[in-house]
Amino acid sequence: MPINRSWFDQRLRLGGLAVCAVVLATGCRREQVTHFRVEKGVEAVAASGPPGGSMGAGPPASPGMQGDVPAPPRPNAPLAWTLPKGWSQEVAGGMRYATLKPPASVPGRVDVSVVVLPGPAGGELANVNRWRGQIGLPPLGDGELAAARKMVRSPAGELALYDFTSEGEKKSRMVAALAEVDGSTWFLKLAGDAEPVGTVRPDFLKLLESIRRGTN
């Protein structure tokens, strides 16, 4: 059966349009910000290097959150502290030396961490401005640092204490102390929503005053 030429031309035009549509649709694809809502607790595998073997399917696993720049070494001279009533201490992970938990009865978001880094760890001003940056406050100048600092005495020596509250409708607050002990700098930080941080602050100050050389 011979094919009618006009029938053929009509289909050719339709086919051409379809091909153009596919080409344009695929050519105009632009990547966009994705969003997923996931349950807590999903983390990358700590693949700190390429896997031990390969079956010839793609590149080695790239490093996940673990990274190339290693976590700092443990300090030679550890510090200890007395936990306020109702507080608990969790096993440390990553950069943290310890994570402290205020009583669960405290409402709102609050986080207490202990981090220790070798040497001066960038200096006091840099660290203070880093903390301020984390809650959206502008950096301080050299001259303003002393005015913002309060000293806390402890058996292990004096700690420099800073207390910052963010601007905005929902305020965040950060109460952080640092001290250099035997060549390491210790950072103890209480951070979270302004209200619960204010509730926990007196206990946190007591904890700072109890800091001593030794182990818990």
- Residues within window 155-174 making contact with other proteins, judged by CB under 8 A: 166-172
Query: In the set 14, 17, 21, 50, which binds other proteins (CB under 8 A)?
Result: 50
Show the tokens assigned to 197. Answer: 């941080």
Instruction: Tell me the number of residues near other proteins by CB under 8 A.
Output: 72
Q: Are 90 and 73 in contact (CB under 8 A)?
A: no
Can residue 32 be called a binding residue for other proteins (CB under 8 A)?
yes
From residue 171 to residue 190, the character string flagging contacts with other proteins as x (rule: CB under 8 A) and all else as - is xx------------------
Residue whose C-alpha is closest to residue 211's, from 182, 179, 184? 179
- Contacts of residue 50, Cβ cutoff 8 Å, sequence gap at least 6: 60, 61
Can residue 33 be called a binding residue for other proteins (CB under 8 A)?
yes
Show the tokens assigned to 210. Answer: 């109890």
Shorter beta-carbon distance to other proteins: residue 25 or 215: 25
Can residue 34 be called a binding residue for other proteins (CB under 8 A)?
yes
Query: In the set 24, 28, 42, 91, which binds other proteins (CB under 8 A)?
Result: 42
Can residue 62 be called a binding residue for other proteins (CB under 8 A)?
yes
Can residue 130 be called a binding residue for other proteins (CB under 8 A)?
yes
Query: In the set 40, 91, 104, 142, which binds other proteins (CB under 8 A)?
Result: 40
Q: How far is the CB of 186 from other proteins (least distance, A)?
A: 16
What is the distance between the terminal CA atoms of the chain, rounded to a whole angstrom? 94
Can residue 80 be called a binding residue for other proteins (CB under 8 A)?
no
Residue 11's alpha-carbon distances to 4, 6, 8, 15, 18, in angstroms, are: 11, 9, 5, 6, 10
Can residue 39 be called a binding residue for other proteins (CB under 8 A)?
yes
Q: Are 185 and 93 in contact (CB under 8 A)?
A: no
Report the alpha-carbon distance of residue 107 to residue 109 in Å, rounded.
7
CA 112, distance to chain mean position in Å, is 13
From residue 83 to residue 102, the character string flagging contacts with other proteins as x (rule: CB under 8 A) and all else as - is -----------xx-------
